Chain A
Amino acid sequence: MKTDSVLEKILTSGQLAVTSEVGPPRGTDPEAVKKKGELLRGVVDVVNVTDNQTAMVRMSSMAACAHLKQLGLHPMLQMVTRDRNRLAMQADILGAYSHGIDNMLCLSGDHPKFGDHPMAANVHDLDSVQFLRMVKDMRDEGKFQGGDEITDPPKMFIGAAANPFADPFELRVARLAKKSAAGADFVQTQCIYNIPKFKEWMKGVCARGLHKEIYVLAGITPMKSVGMARYMKNKVPGMDVPADIIKRMAGVEKKKAAAEGITMAVEMIQELKEVEGVAGFHIMAIEWERKVPEIVERAGLLPRPSV
């Protein structure tokens, strides 16, 4: 074992892992985080906490992670390269680990253009691949990025994002290989709606033997409505929502659409469980955390293993 992470233990044991996420509030109320966290207790293994998602200012991921940790949950610190240089990133990694946070997800982050501070400087001192390498070297070499030794290094279980649906498709397996080589232990994928394309990507991943080097958690986001499906298709960068998904959501009465979205998510998990190389699921129920227990249960992923 590289870390004390619960997620690492579950994945290493060969059982399917389940993660989910909470978005911190745009304010100072810790209850907002705790409430969302409680909805996921016993239902998922680790709870991602987003970092200024969609480039909107929110309570810091680290502070929100600490609130969840105090509740006895296992949080995952998300961090984007957009907002911090390597000094700030490493300082926060030390700080997070000092709070017992031992999972993290290394991202580049949405462009500020999409958020509430489009005039902000875009830091990107490191990119996501270099970020992964830094966290790995902190853990495995006990060294800061600048080369100095760390007396008591942070032992993070290191995650990355992968989007099999962004272009050009043909280099998406190679990009996963780059992240794996840089130090990612696992990836959580972009929300999957185009299952044939995802399977094609996974085939490429397995053909290179990458599934033996890096755990792939398939990203699932339940649709609430046909409006959401259309929005995801047209407005969210790098999102691939096939026409038959829109058609299915449009085909049910409005008040039954949410239930249909949940059923669709459950069916997707059932299907993806059978795909070689899928090591678990990352369920991103955006502002819909209360539905995660139902999805996990109906997908046959309960009870969660105790490790």
Chain B
Amino acid sequence: MITAERKPLEEIVESVASFDRILLVGCNECVTVCAAGGRKEVGLLASALNMTFLKGGKSVQITEHTLERQCDPEYVEELSQLVGGADAILSMACGAGVQELARRYKDKPVLPALNTMFMGASERAGVWSERCAGCGNCVLGITGGICPIARCSKRIMNGPCGGSTNGKCEISDDVDCAWHLIWERLKALGQTDLYEVNMDAKDWRPAGGAGPRTIVREDLAE
């Protein structure tokens, strides 16, 4: 999923301080799963904003609405009846959702309430970690299912570097050395011969080096 964290309340308050009517929009997808911008978080943020503004002697009208998918034009259309009654939209989706709202509702300021973080997975309750860098050319089949691009601090494709100690990365004892994990998994799979094959210099074009990326499926495109 795409993970995100809510911005500090003070920052959000400052960003919407000049508006009297705010449309607060959540998303029922990734940010709901990572507990950053779903229906529940929309409710919590609305209460926090109301209390903050009331304390400051200001009455603000906050309309809450959570879309099935904020990055999908079909669902974003749902807001068309609500947008007219708002001075600004405060989005609790990832950056893709924020931009989809901005694209559809051109005359309305759209402000992000979240910081979009990474593509990751849940490690345990309340903990998510980065797993995929979206580099456009997956090597997981030869790295034991552990990504060196996303999970090595130096995105080393032929690791590990000389800084790994007791399975941990040189940057922190809290960070696993991705190459240590890869090596252990290759051993478990009986595939250590894969380790010795040097991976060539990466072509970063599919990773974004060639500019903003687009997928066109001729069979589906209208």
Contact = CB atoms under 8 A, between A and B. Distances in A.
Interface in A176-192: 177-178, 181-182, 190
Contact of A178 (B158, B171, B204): B158
A166 B156 contact: no
A203 to B, nearest CB: 19
Interface string B110-127: 000000000000000000
B57 interface: no
Interface string B177-209: 100100110000000100110111110100000
Contacts of B204: 125
Contacts of A161: 162
Given A166-B165, A168-B180, A130 B170 contact: no
A238 B198 contact: no
Contact of A174 (B155, B165, B195): B195
Contact of A237 (B159, B165, B198): B165
A128 interface: yes
A110 B162 CA distance: 9
Given A82-B154, A161-B162, A163-B162, A130 B201 contact: yes
B196 A174 contact: yes
Majority secondary structure, B binding face: loop
A166 B163 contact: yes
A133 B154 contact: no
Contacts, number: 103
Contacts of A82: 154
Interface in A45-90: 81-82, 86
Contacts of B155: 122, 124, 127
A167 B159 CA distance: 11
B14 to A, nearest CB: 23
A145 interface: yes
A213 to B, nearest CB: 14
Contacts of B202: 125-126, 130
B164 A145 contact: no
Interface residues of A, number: 36
A113 B171 contact: yes
Interface in B156-176: 156-167, 170-171
Interface in A103-145: 108-111, 113-114, 122, 124-130, 133-134, 145
Nearest to B167: A167
Contact of A111 (B159, B171, B177, B192): B171
A171 interface: yes
B156 A124 contact: yes
A132 B219 CA distance: 43
27 contacts: A86-B201, A110-B170, A111-B154, A111-B163, A111-B170, A113-B171, A114-B170, A124-B156, A125-B202, A126-B201, A127-B159, A128-B161, A129-B157, A129-B158, A130-B198, A130-B199, A130-B201, A133-B200, A133-B201, A134-B201, A145-B201, A166-B163, A168-B180, A175-B160, A178-B158, A181-B198, A237-B170
Q: Which 9 pairs, one residue from A and one from B, show the smallest C-beta to C-beta distance?
A: A163-B162, A237-B170, A129-B158, A237-B163, A130-B201, A127-B156, A238-B162, A166-B162, A238-B163
Interface of A: 81-82, 86, 108-111, 113-114, 122, 124-130, 133-134, 145, 161-163, 166-168, 171, 174-175, 177-178, 181-182, 190, 237-238
Given A110-B170, A133-B200, A163-B162, 17 more contacts: A108-B154, A108-B161, A111-B153, A111-B163, A111-B171, A124-B155, A126-B201, A127-B156, A129-B157, A163-B163, A166-B162, A166-B165, A167-B160, A167-B166, A168-B183, A182-B158, A237-B165
Interface of B: 153-167, 170-171, 177, 180, 183-184, 192, 195-196, 198-202, 204
